[in-house]
Amino acid sequence: GAVVSQHPSWVICKSGTSVKIECRSLDFQATTMFWYRQFPKQSLMLMATSNEGSKATYEQGVEKDKFLINHASLTLSTLTVTSAHPEDSSFYICGGRVTVNTGELFFGEGSRLTVL
């Protein structure tokens, strides 16, 4: 299957700093990238959907100014957590979609963010 590489796998930062998480599709072109957040022992919550070359579509309740998503190319999407706070600590997962109008996604390994 298609491979998505997510980096970093874990990061610790100080409160107030910004953190960037990268998601790369290694052997396919991800026309759409989905960003999820997972709290401990809870489900994956969709944060936003990004299409290459256009603005991301954020889910209700997700602050677009806090969680900046960029999808500059068909193989790279980034999530930047700006001015991070301890409540932003979580597990973030990206999923790339190959074919339009399908629910089959290829997921990255996830990134665990801890904000001190």
Partner 1 sequence: AQRVTQPEKLLSVFKGAPVELKCNYSYSGSPELFWYVQYSRQRLQLLLRHISRESIKGFTADLNKGETSFHLKKPFAQEEDSAMYYCALSALLTWMDSSYKLIFGSGTRLLVRP
Rounded-to-integer distance, Cα 4 and Cα 21, Å: 13
| Residue whose CB is less far from partner 1, 51 or 114 | 51
Closest CA to 37 of 21, 54, 16: 21
Structure tokens at 6: 């997510």
Rounded-to-integer distance, Cα 52 and Cα 75, Å: 9
Among 92, 108, 113, 115, binds partner 1 (CB under 8 A): 108
91 binds partner 1 (CB under 8 A): no
Closest CA to 71 of 57, 90, 85: 57
| Residue whose CB is less far from partner 1, 49 or 82 | 49
27 binds partner 1 (CB under 8 A): no
43 binds partner 1 (CB under 8 A): yes
User: Which positions lie near partner 1, rule CB under 8 A?
Assistant: 1, 32, 34, 36, 41-44, 46, 49, 51, 57, 93, 95, 100-105, 107-110
